[in-house]
Amino acid sequence: MEEMRILLRNKDKINPTSAQDYIQTGGYEALRKALSMDGQEIIDTLKAAGLRGRGGAGFPTHMKMQFAKNAEDDVKYVVCNADEGEPGTNKDRVLLTTDPNSVFEGMAIAAKAIGAHKGFIYLRAEYPYVFPILKEAIENARAARCLGDDILGSGFSFDIEIHSGAGAYVCGEETALFESIEGHRGEPRYRPPFPGTKGLFGKPTLLNNVETLANFAPILRNGPDWFRKIGSEGSPGTKLFTICGNVNHRGVYEFPMGVNLKEIIYDVCGGIAEGKGLLAVQTGGSSGAIINATQIDLPLDIDHVSASGGRLGCGTILVIDDTNCIVDIVRNNLDFFRSESCGQCTPCREGGTHLYELICKICDGKGTLRDMDTIVDLANTMRITALCGLGHSTAVPVLTSLQNFREVYESHLDGDYCPVCGKDWGN
């Protein structure tokens, strides 16, 4: 199966920091077009294209943009969320290191649409080597007058500042990200107010994922009809997928939305490594659903994956072979979430740790049926009571794995031997 490279069109073909290279491949043409358009026309174009966010929630991009445009304020911001923290995910890094100008162009188009003149790229702390690439690329883009004052002679000004994170997963949550840029502890804010009306420094803010922004230029250049023809009806366009785990060919691939998961695993990635069997797949990163081997004939677009109990999220596919234990995988997930909770709200701060401890108890062969009930009750509570998405999604791998691998949990309760959790519990 062939990749469809729209976002990765320049990967390994141009010097990523050279604005001139980018321009020679048709770069900044979309921006030039956008600069001659009314803000509303740009938003309408994205609306017609049906673009949805690529960071996690799959929210219609034009709606976010419309909120920020409608907000009345002299100062507005465009923020690029490059805090790619979802375990196993590398797609934003690939975009930023191979074609950063496509992201800048998207940000500038967004700025023109909502009336912003300043943008921030919030870069994941663990990507320090990306920082100089972005810095150089921004300087070159300024020199080419594609950023800065009077962009492309249009009179419109927009500039970008890079801001490094400090290593907290929760800062990928948009409002925690704002807090972090503002110099505060990275804790999410309650909503409403939403960022579109009150975001960074209290100003109307449009925040998009790297990949979402990279879609703006191709859409403007080729038109919404072109975009609609790619992908599935509810999720037009392509998607970057990071395939990780026990497959032969791991990596970042670009496919139209709706590509079949089974085909990705077996055709694109060469199947399970070392000839082992498939146990499970987790879609959308650590906060995604864990499905079993019988469920992988699944079109990967936003709505289909949601229907499976998880979400497409950032497009990360963790393939798990049958030498693993699902309870152990979930334990590992929970260990991640409990240490990444900001500690602000009760359900996530306390619940995350108790979930982890209960799962550990099951791993240790000391779990009871009552513990299983507690796990379900707690996970369901966290899902509806936590302050932000981190607390809501901690429950997802727990609940979906319980649904799809109930017998594995029960065999731990029964004291059956588990080769991974390692103990022959006997009686």
Partner 1 sequence: MVTIHIDGQELQVKKGITILEAARSANIKIPTLCYHEDQKIKSVCRICLVEIEGQRLLQAACSYPVSEGMVIKTASPKVIKARRNVLELILARHPQDCLNCPKNGFCELQDLTQELHMKRPIRYQRDIRPHQVDESSTSIVRDPTKCILCTRCIEACEDGQTIGVIGKENRGFDTIVVPPYGKDMNETVCVNCGQCVQVCPVGALTIKDDTDKIYENLDSGKILVAQVAPSVRTTIAEALGEAPGTPSAGRLVTAMKLLGFHYVFDADFSADLTIMEEGYELLDRIKNGGVLPMITSCCPAWVKFCETYNPKYVKHLSTAKSPQQMFGPVIKTYFAEKHKIDPANICSISIMPCTAKKFECQREEMNDSGYQDVDISLTVQELANMIREAGINYADLPETPFDDPFGLGSGAGEIFAATGGVMEAALRTVYEVVTGKTLEKLDFHDVRGLDNLKEAEVDLNGTIVRVAVVHGLGNAREIMRKVRAGTANYHFIEVMACPGGCIGGGGNPIRNWKKVKARTESVYQQDRDLPVRKSHETDAIKTIYKEFLGEPLSDKAHHLLHTSYCNRQDLLR
Binding site for partner 1 (CB under 8 A): 168, 185, 190, 192, 338-347, 349-354, 357-358, 370, 374, 377-378, 381, 384-387, 392
Please, which residue, 157 or 197, has the CB nearer to partner 1? 197
Residue 171 beta carbon to partner 1: minimum distance, rounded to whole angstroms: 11
Please, which residue, 219 or 358, has the CB nearer to partner 1? 358
Please, which residue, 93 or 189, has the CB nearer to partner 1? 189
Nearest to 291 by CA among 383, 420, 369, 396: 396
Residues 6+ apart with CB under 8 A from 307: none
Distance CA 192, CA 78 (A): 19
Residue 86 beta carbon to partner 1: minimum distance, rounded to whole angstroms: 17
Please, which residue, 117 or 349, has the CB nearer to partner 1? 349
Residue 194 beta carbon to partner 1: minimum distance, rounded to whole angstroms: 11
Please, which residue, 170 or 247, has the CB nearer to partner 1? 170
Please, which residue, 175 or 401, has the CB nearer to partner 1? 175
Residue 387 beta carbon to partner 1: minimum distance, rounded to whole angstroms: 6
User: What tokens were used for 199?
Assistant: 């975001």
Residue 342 beta carbon to partner 1: minimum distance, rounded to whole angstroms: 6
Please, which residue, 123 or 342, has the CB nearer to partner 1? 342
Please, which residue, 50 or 310, has the CB nearer to partner 1? 310
Distance CA 167, CA 123 (A): 10
Residue 168 beta carbon to partner 1: minimum distance, rounded to whole angstroms: 7
Alpha-carbon 413 to chain mean position:
35
Please, which residue, 5 or 392, has the CB nearer to partner 1? 392
Please, which residue, 56 or 352, has the CB nearer to partner 1? 352
Residue 6 beta carbon to partner 1: minimum distance, rounded to whole angstroms: 34
Exposure letters 74-103 (e unless 16+ CB within 10 A, then b): eebbbbbbbbbbbbbbbbbbbbbbbbbbbb
Distance CA 139, CA 357 (A): 49
164, amino acid identity: S
Residue 179 beta carbon to partner 1: minimum distance, rounded to whole angstroms: 12
Residue 386 beta carbon to partner 1: minimum distance, rounded to whole angstroms: 7
363, amino acid identity: C
Residue 368 beta carbon to partner 1: minimum distance, rounded to whole angstroms: 11
User: What tokens were used for 169?
Assistant: 């997963």
Cβ atoms within 10 Å, residue 9: 18
Residue 350 beta carbon to partner 1: minimum distance, rounded to whole angstroms: 4
Residue 340 contacts residue 356 (beta carbons within 8 Å): no
Distance CA 344, CA 177 (A): 15
Residue 51 contacts residue 61 (beta carbons within 8 Å): yes
